[in-house]
Structure 1
Amino acid sequence: MKNITPKNIFFKFHNNPKDQLKNHNNNKNIKFINCQKWSTITKNNIFNYLSFLLLVFIFSCSSDKKYDKSKAIAVLNQTNQLVIDNNLDKIPISIPASRNNHSWLGSSSLVNQNIENITKNFNSKETSWYIKNSDINIKRTWYKNIFYIEDFAKSFVYSPIIINDKIFVLDSSGELTAFLLSTKKTIWHKRIFNKLWLKNYKVAHLGACDNKLFAVVGVNQIKAINQDDGKILWEKDLSVIFNSTPICDGESVFITSSDNKTYALNALDGEIKWIHYGIPKSLAIFGNAQVVISEDLAIASYSSGEIYAINKKSGKELWSSELNSNQNYNSNFFLSDVDATPLVKDGVVYAIGNGGLMKAIMAKNGDEKWNLPITSVVDFWLAGDFLYVINNDNQLFAVYKKTGTIKWQVQLEKFRNPKKISSKHNYIAVVMAGNKLLVARQDGEMLIISPFDGKVEKNYSLNKRILHAPIVIDNKIYFYGMSRFKTKLIELE
């Protein structure tokens, strides 16, 4: 998941005045551009005019209700109308057998490569003795408060690591804490990154493998930490800003930077093995999709809207593909980032970007199987023959993985307040568990949705802001919720 971004940005256009102001005061021309025609302005009333102009600007441009939205132009990509493929009526949605998940290494894509339906028992209960409707039962079984001073507006992604009955949490102040899941007791607590004066780090990402943790906080450092005691094993300083979750295959750590580079570092000592250079882009969302490892490939995604297949040992580029529609090609005006982490299944790379396209690409040679005109920054999920995708208009789709056509689509709740564009909901990720789709939303709502028709069966409120996918481990769900002055590690059963 993913980082929090504006989904719709609008410009307002006003008519130019039909007449220019006449010469006045010693033949000096004074011209003003505004929504209305103004008479000649003298030096005596210019202050009053500017004051009035300021009020007009504030009250005409600050409210969502004061302008005609039909005349606005969207900065983000607009795609063709998506239609349902009626031929898919003959193809039923089948749910894969569930499998237990025992670890979370910071990537829902990594889990989805191995498991399509995570084991989770939603104990249904009858709502009352006289109404026999069944209701999905979820209860909070444990939480842990972690206090610090935080400005949420400066915060981005926080996702814990869960492995070997331990949970590791890196907060935005640069402190790392380890808990034992079975007893809920703190194992150790260490400051990993230097404390900043009166502010916190913008990003906090953790990766893990082989009894090591790999941490970045949106600065030019990456650090390796021992899982047993929190000791720093090595650290690497480079002249780039790391902004993705470190992904480790046991030998190398793969991470991308804000200037569209991918680094492969030796997991033992942090030495650079190779660097891949993408095309830098001046306009971008802060944060990148994670590098995806599949066999001998490293799949890297950049804010230019391109994805690359790289030999993970040599760093040699094998193929690339663009997720930008034709109208966005090579444009700096549109946000074309690939922020949803791609998925590799059965030799096919599935990827979606903010530039206008979702694609299925053959991993071995980069040949395109299909593309769909859809934009998203939300991590998607594959189960059986269908991909479950949330687009930038907060619509949920079931996409047939063989053809890229749509079986069904539903509109999820789009705004907290329909009258305010700024209240648009941000959905984080989709995960299948217990034969249901679990969808996390930034305002602290978890939606439980039927994969057969997209019907929302239950909303569960965490009362905390969340910025990562639902983490399902050993029949329990974990979230890292945030408020201004504390975070809360939450366990649901």
Structure 2
Amino acid sequence: MSQKIKPMISYLLLFLMAVALTGCGSDFFGQNEAPPLPGKRISILTQQRSIEPDSSAAGHKIVLPAPVPNKDWPQAGGYANHAMHHMRVGKALQERWSISVGRGTNDEERLMAQPIVAANTLFSMDSETIISAYNLKDGAEIWSVELTPKEEDDDHINGGLAYENGKVFATTGFGQVIAVAAKTGKILWRRNVGAPARSAPTARGNRVFAITVTNKLFALNSETGAVLWTHSGIEEATNLLGGGSPAVDSGVIVAPYSSGELVALKVENGQELWADSLAGTRRGAASSTLGTIRGRPIIDRGIVFAISNSGQFAAINLRTGRRIWERPVGGIESPWIAGDYLFVISNNTDLLALSRLNGRIFWVTALPEWEDPEDREGKITWTGPILASDRLIVAGSTGEALSVSPYSGKVLGKVEMPDSVSISPIVVQDSLLFLSDDAELVAYR
């Protein structure tokens, strides 16, 4: 038996055992589960420095708001505040269509852009900076346009997309923010920002906000591309992991920088309201010394929630900058909020449920971390979660997506993807959409 096959068999056997123990159904969403009393979750795979639920949370019953339909997904993270709560998808999800949206991740390029949806149209940007528009109903292509200038090489790591008022905005790896007409694909304007942008833009109130790898925030006029104001954070020597899109709500923008800085500014003029730092160190992982905030911060009911790679998860008052609570949890995926609860994947591939009010941890589920757990080879990465119809959805580098109970952390079902998945799925119009690393877009409805 080859050394390559052995690790995969080990991983599959362990995962199948875990699924059997959790009562996972054959359907992707699994069997319905009434919200149970949460208890300590036993890790599927033994992990060092595992996070434990708080003893004070024992017996707590998680109650979530009812799922509601979501019409659009106009930018990375959903809407500008990144607070999407509990969305509805149809029952008995089945794959309805699957299309290629261009070039995916390879040795020189990386697929970074989460698809967005507005006006019944899905927009994507592939690793070669080609934006395409598709009919959301059946995946039929409407138009496609290449953004890379002739004088530029194709080998860039791009940012992402945002939509507002009939325009699609793109951040690119060649240092430009570009506006495209959503109906036709016509390029409306280009704005040089002096450095690559590896996070998606945020669009709100006729302004487009973009952060470059040099930790410079640009506020642009969405009609003309004119620079309205800028703000500079601490410039880092390197930005390996990409970055998080800024969050906007109530006239305030919260910018996450790769230095670990979190800065709140007035949308109108860029005046700084407060600044905090989530930078730090976590023993045992070299990349954790990078304080980068890659996950998108959330603004919800006057509170900012943000997590850094270096091991800080914090809730901060939007107006004053006062910390409400903090937990020693690190991660590079965006947290998810629904009602009074937060869900997040940690750097140790633990999926956690926490209190929005005080940060208490209610349950912890260890997702598979290694393809070969005995030799600790083949590191598995996970993206998500999102919450849809009483299911948390996560997807991973093994090419699988899992559904997990938000009430207990129990794994309920799984489905195979065309390839590994590094971009969190989206929910729109009762559909669940995945984009795999080979640029295959799959719609479940």
Q: TM-score, normalised by structure 2?
A: 0.83
Aligned to 1:88: 57
1:468 aligned partner:
423
Q: CA deviation at 1:463?
A: 2.2
CA positional deviation for 1:466 = 2.2
Are 2:199 and 2:243, in contact at CA under 8 Å, matched by a contact in 1?
A: yes
What's the CA shift for 1:165? 0.8
Identify if the C-alpha distance between structure 1 residues 233 and 422 changes in structure 2 by more than 3 Å, giving closer, same or farther.
farther
Q: Distance in 2 between matches of 1:370 and 1:198?
A: 45
Measure the CA separation in 2 of the matches of 1:414 and 1:150: 21
Q: Which runs of 5+ in 1 are unaligned?
A: 1-78, 124-137
8 Å contact kept, 1:347–1:362: yes
- In terms of mean alpha carbon deviation, does 468-477 or 367-376 score higher? 468-477
- Give the direction of change, closer, same or farther, for the CA distance of 1:114–1:405 in structure 2 (3 Å limit): closer
Give the Å deviation of 1:478.
1.1
For 2:79 and 2:131, locate their aligned partners in 1 and report how far apart those are by CA, in whole Å: 23
Quick check: which has more Rg, 1 or 2?
1
Do residues 104 (structure 1) and 63 (structure 2) align?
A: no
C-alpha contact 2:81 2:249 (8 A) present in aligned 1: no
Give the Cα separation in 1 of the matches to 2:441 and 2:282.
Answer: 43
Contact 1:112 1:381 in 2 (8 A): no
Q: Does structure 2 conserve the Cα–Cα contact (< 8 Å) formed by 1:344 and 1:350?
A: yes
**Contact 2:50 2:348 (C-alpha < 8 Å) held by counterparts:** no
Q: Secondary structure at the match of 1:110?
A: coil
Deviation at 1:171, TM superposition (A): 1.4
Give secondary structure in 1 for the equivalent of 2:56: helix
Corresponding residue pairs, total: 397
Q: What amino acid does structure 1 have at the position aligned with 2:88?
A: T
What CA distance in whole angstroms lies between the structure 1 residues aligned with 2:83 and 2:241? 29
Q: What SS does the aligned partner of 1:423 have?
A: strand
Q: 1:431 to 1:147 in 2, by over 3 A?
A: closer
Equivalent residue for 2:443?
491
Is 1:415 equivalent to 2:370 in the alignment?
yes
Superposition CA RMSD, Å = 2.5
- The alpha-carbon distance between structure 1 residues 197 and 392, as it changes in their structure 2 partners (threshold 3 A), is same
CA contact (8 A) 2:352 2:362 kept: yes
Structure 1 position 204, deviation (Å): 4.6
Q: In structure 2, what is the Cα distance between the partners aligned to 1:185 and 1:374?
A: 42
Indicate yes or no: 2:90 matched with 1:121.
yes
Partners of 1:448 and 1:458 within 8 A in 2:
yes
The 5-angstrom pairing of residues 193-208 of structure 1 reads 193-194=148-149, 199-208=154-163
Report deviation, 1:482. 3.1
Contact in 2 for aligned 1:303/1:336 (Cα 8 Å): yes
Match of 2:329, SS? coil
Give identity over the alignment, percent. 26
State the match for 2:342 in structure 1: 387
Provide the secondary structure at the position in 2 that maps to 1:159. coil
Partner residue, 1:68: none
> How much has 1:87 moved relative to structure 2?
2.2
> Which structure's relative contact order is higher, taking Cα pairs within 8 Å and 6+ residues apart?
2
Does residue 188 in structure 1 map to residue 140 in structure 2?
no
How is 1:231-242 mapped onto 2 (pairs within 5 angstroms)?
Answer: 231-242=186-197
Change (3 A) 1:216 1:111: closer
User: Given the alignment, which residue of 418, 428, 432 partners 2:383?
Assistant: 428
Provide closer, same or farther for how the CA distance between residues 198 and 254 of structure 1 changes in structure 2, counting only shifts above 3 A: closer
Report the Cα distance in structure 2 between the residues aligned to 1:197 and 1:113, rounded to whole angstroms.
Answer: 33
- How much has 1:158 moved relative to structure 2? 2.6
| Contact residue 109 and residue 342 of structure 1 kept, 8 A | no
Mapped contact 2:256–2:293 kept (Cα < 8 A): yes
Distance 1:147 1:365, change over 3 A: closer
Superposition map of 1:274-353 within 5 A: 274-325=229-280, 334-353=289-308
Contact 1:337 1:354 in 2 (8 A): yes
